[in-house]
Structure 1
Amino acid sequence: MRIFRYIDENGNITLAAMNDQNHMFPLAYRDFLHLVEEAEKQGVTPLTLVQQSIQNTSPLETSLEQLQLLVPIEAPEVWAAGVTYERSRDARNYEATGGKLDAKTFYDKVYDAERPELFMKSTAARTIGPDGELYIRSDSNWQIPEPELGLVLNKEGKILGYTAGNDLSCRDIEGENPLYLPQAKIWKNSCSIGPVIRLAETVQDPYSLQITCKIHRNGEKMVEGTANTSQLKRKYDELVSYLIRDNIIFDGTVLLTGTCIVPPNEFTLQDGDQVEIEISEIGVLSNPIRQRVKQTASVS
C-alpha cells in the first residue's frame, strides 16, 4: 500500500492510498502522520486502518500521472547517509583527488568505519515533491542527482515507510574541500522526495529494491543507471541508530540512505534536464532541472 498527497478538483489537499492494483482511494486524514497516529490510537497497523477506510469507497477515476501530486510528507528534516555504497566511495575519492582513478582517501576510512557519515540534507522549506523544479546551484559547475531510498521515521526512529529521494549534489564544491559539504548539499530546491510513501509493513524485503535513474536532455536519454539496495554496505537500523544517538529527530523525518548510481565523471546537469528516479514497489520520482541566475556574495 502506497500513501500520497494531491490537490483535488476543488483545490483541497487530499491524502490518498494506492493498492498494488494501482487503484487509488481518498482518505479522511490530514496527512501521513495523522494516519499513523490514528492507527496507533485504534491499536491497529496503518495498513489495517487504510484497508478499513477504503473498504466501501469507490476508487478515483484517474491515474496517478494525471493528479497534481504534492510532496508525500512535509518532512521537518531530511538527513542523508554518505559513502554507504562502494560506487559512492569511489566517486567521492575521485572528487577529492582531482580526478585520480583508484585513489585512496579518508572516504575509504568512512566506508569501513563503524560510524557512518550522516549529514543534514534539507528542511521542509527546501524539499519539493514530484514534478517540482530542482535548482542548479549557481556557483557550481559539476552537479549530479543522487537517487536514494528514503526512510520515513517517527521521533523514536521507527521506520514507518519508504520513499524515493533525489539528493542533488555539487561534486566540484565537495571535492574542493570536505568542509564545504553543507554548501555542496544544501540550497533552495536541492532535494526532492516522493511520489509516494510505501508502508513499511508492506515491503517484504527492503534490501532487494531495484533503483533506476534516467536523465533526459532535449528529449534524448543522456544517462541511465541501475542499482539494488542489496548493494548497501550498512543496515537501515544501523544508520537510524546513529541518527537518533544523542539527537532529537521529529515525526516525519526522512533519512536518505545513500546512492549507488553516479553519472559519468564528464556529466553535469543543465537547465532543462529531466531526472527520473524509479524504485520498485514505490514508483517514479520525476523532476525538471532549472538554472537560476547566478548570485554573488556582497562584501561590506
Structure 2
Amino acid sequence: MALHYSDGILLGRADVPGYDYPRIVTVRDRDLVDITAPGLAMVRDIAERGDAARDVRGAAGTIVGSVADVLANSAAQQPDPGVAKLLAPIDLQAVKASGVTFVVSLLERVIEEQARGDKLRADALRGEILGLIGTDLSELVPGSEPAMQVKAALIERGVWSQYLEVGIGPDAEIFTKGQPMSSVGYGAEVGLHPVSRWNNPEPEVALLVTSKGDIIGATLGNDVNLRDVEGRSALLLGKAKDNNASGALGPFIRLFDSDFTLETVKEAEIALRVEGEDGFVLEGHSSMSQLSRTPESLVSATIGRHHQYPDGLVLYLGTMFAPVKDRDGAGKGFTHKLGDVVSISTPTLGTLRNRVNLSTKCPPWTYGASHLIRDLAKADLL
C-alpha cells in the first residue's frame, strides 16, 4: 500500500537541521529535497501562485536526506535532531472537515446520538435502526425527493436524527476541525481529550483548496473522533473534534497532474490499521467511491460567495469507517488505548502513521502563524 515516493509531485513541510522554522520540501529520486525560496516559502503561497505542480517540479533544491530516513526519524519516539522530520504539509490554510458523507458513517452517528454515548447500547440500536429505515440509504441522493420521503417516514416513526438531516438532507455538514498551523504530521502523536472513554480514528482523504475554490491536490488525514462526547450532544462537536494534536495530515500533499487527478481521489481505497501495545489489531477500509456527496459539492458547500478563505483551506472528506470490533470483551466495541499506532494508507498517497496519546500529553501547539511570518521575514523569504 505504500506510494513509490519517486512518483507524483509531492509537497510537504519539514523541520530541517540548521533552521529554526519549517522548510518547504518535495521528493525526487527517493530523496527529500528542500526547495524553500522567496515565493516558495509557504504552502499557502505555492498553492496561490496558479500552477503549484509546475512550480514544485521546476524548483531548485538541496537534498536533506533520503525519504526513508526522514520517515523513520519522524515516527521515532525520540527523533534524532540531526535528521529532518516531517510536519503537517499545510501552513496557513483553514482546516475544515465534512461529516456524515458515507452511509456507514451516517448510521453510526445516529447510533451515537440514540445511545447517548453509551457504547454498550450500540449493537442493539444498530439492528433496531436498520430495521426501521427499511431502505438502502446508499441509493439516496441527498436532498432528492426520495430522500425527503425517507426523512418524513423516519420522523413519523420517531427516530429522526440531526445526523440523518445532514446525511440525506440538502445541506452538508461542514465544520472547523482545527486552526491554521495546528495540524500534526507523519509520525507525530495524535491526541485524545482525557474525558473520552469511547473514541476512534477516522481515516480520510483531505483536499487542498485554493482561495478561489480550486482543488489542486490531496493528502491523507486522521480526523480523530470522540464518539462518546459527540454522542452526548452535537453541540459538543468542538470538544469532540478540536483538541491539541487531534488532526493529522500527511505525509505529503500530492499535487494534481496528468497522472493524479480528482477522479483518482474519487476511486481511492483507504486502508486503516490500528496496532495496540496489547497486541490488538484492527483493520478496515474506506472506499471513496461510496461518498454520498461529490468532493466538488463538499468544496462548494465550504467556500464560495457565502464564505471566503483568503489563505485557502484543506477539507477532510469524511470516512465510511466506523469500528465495531470488540476490544476488551464481547459487546464492548472498539476504543483507543494509549500507545496505539494508527496507519492510514492508499497507493497514490502513501501512508500516514501516528501514535495515540492524550491531548494533554502530546507536545503543546506553540508555533503559530505569527511565528512563521516573523521567521520568514527575518530570513528574507517573504
TM-score by length of 2: 0.69
**Aligned with residue 234 of structure 1, among 290, 293, 298:** 293
The correspondence of residues 190-201 of structure 1 with structure 2, limited to 5 A, is: 190-201=246-257
Once residues 110 and 284 of structure 1 are traced to their aligned partners in structure 2, the CA distance between those partners, rounded to angstroms, is 30
Larger helix percent? 2
Question: Does the 8 Å contact 1:126/1:187 carry over to 2?
Answer: no
Q: How far apart are the structure 1 equivalents of 2:47 and 2:229?
A: 39
Q: 1:275 to 1:229 in 2, by over 3 A?
A: same
The residue aligned with 1:32 is: 43
Distance 1:259 1:26 in 2: 33
Q: Deviations over 1:62-91 (max 9, x none)?
A: 124244101111244211111101110121
Aligned-partner SS, 1:89: helix
The within-5 A match list for 1:127-146 is 127-146=183-202
| Aligned counterparts of 1:277 and 1:75: Cα–Cα separation in 2 | 24
| Residue in 2 that maps onto 1:297 | none
Equivalent residue, structure 1, for 2:239? 183
The 1:27/1:143 distance shift into structure 2, 3 A limit, reads same
Mark the CA change 1:140 to 1:249 in structure 2 (over 3 Å): closer, same or farther.
same
8 A Cα contact 2:246 2:359, kept in partner: no
Tell whether the 8 Å contact from 1:86 to 1:260 is kept in structure 2 after alignment.
yes
- How do residues 1-300 of structure 1 correspond to structure 2 at under 5 angstroms? 1-11=9-19, 13-18=22-27, 22-28=30-36, 29-38=40-49, 40=50, 45-53=51-59, 61-64=65-68, 65-66=71-72, 67-98=84-115, 99=122, 100-102=125-127, 103=129, 105-106=160-161, 107-201=163-257, 202-204=259-261, 205-218=264-277, 220-245=279-304, 246-264=306-324, 266-291=333-358
SS of residue paired to 1:141:
coil
Q: CA deviation at 1:138?
A: 1.4
CA distance in structure 1 between the aligned counterparts of 2:193 and 2:103, rounded to whole angstroms:
26
For 1:194-241, what per-residue CA distance to the aligned partner results, in whole angstroms no more than 9, with x for missing partners? 110010235232211121111111173521111221111111110111
Q: Is the 8 A contact 2:205 2:220 kept in 1?
A: yes
Query: Which amino acid is 1:7 matched to?
Result: D
Deviates more, 1:22-31 or 1:188-197: 22-31
Deviations 1:14-48 (A, max 9, x none): 222225x645433132122233344x3xxxx3222
Alpha-carbon distance in 2 for matches of 1:268, 1:50: 40
| Contact 1:270–1:291 under 8 Å retained in 2 | no
Matched residue count: 286
**What secondary structure is seen at the aligned counterpart in 2 of 1:139?**
coil
Q: 2 CA distance for matches of 1:36 and 1:254? A: 11
Higher strand proportion:
1
Confirm or deny: 8 A CA contact 1:75 1:254 kept in the other structure. Answer: no
Q: Structure 1 residues 250, 87: CA separation in 2 closer, same or farther (over 3 Å shift)?
A: farther
Deviates more, 1:282-291 or 1:142-151: 282-291
The alignment partner of 1:9 has SS state of: coil
The TM-score, its normalising length taken from structure 1, stands at 0.87
How far does the alpha carbon of each residue in 1:135-165 deviate from its partner, in whole angstroms, 9 at most, with x for none? 2111111111111110111112111211111
Q: Which amino acid aligns with 1:101?
A: R
RMSD: 2.3
- The letter for the 1-side match of 2:354 is N
Which segments of 5 or more consecutive residues in structure 1 lack a partner in the other structure?
295-300
Rate the CA distance shift 1:161–1:33 in 2: closer, same or farther, 3 A. same
Q: What is the SS of the residue equivalent to 2:126?
A: coil
Mapped to 2, the partners of 1:188 and 1:52 lie a distance apart of 36
In structure 2, relative to structure 1, the CA distance for the partners of 1:191 and 1:231 (3 Å cut) is same
The amino acid of 2:323's aligned partner reads P
Q: Quick one: structure 1 residues 10 and 162, their matched pair in 2 at CA, closer, same or farther if it must change by over 3 Å?
A: same
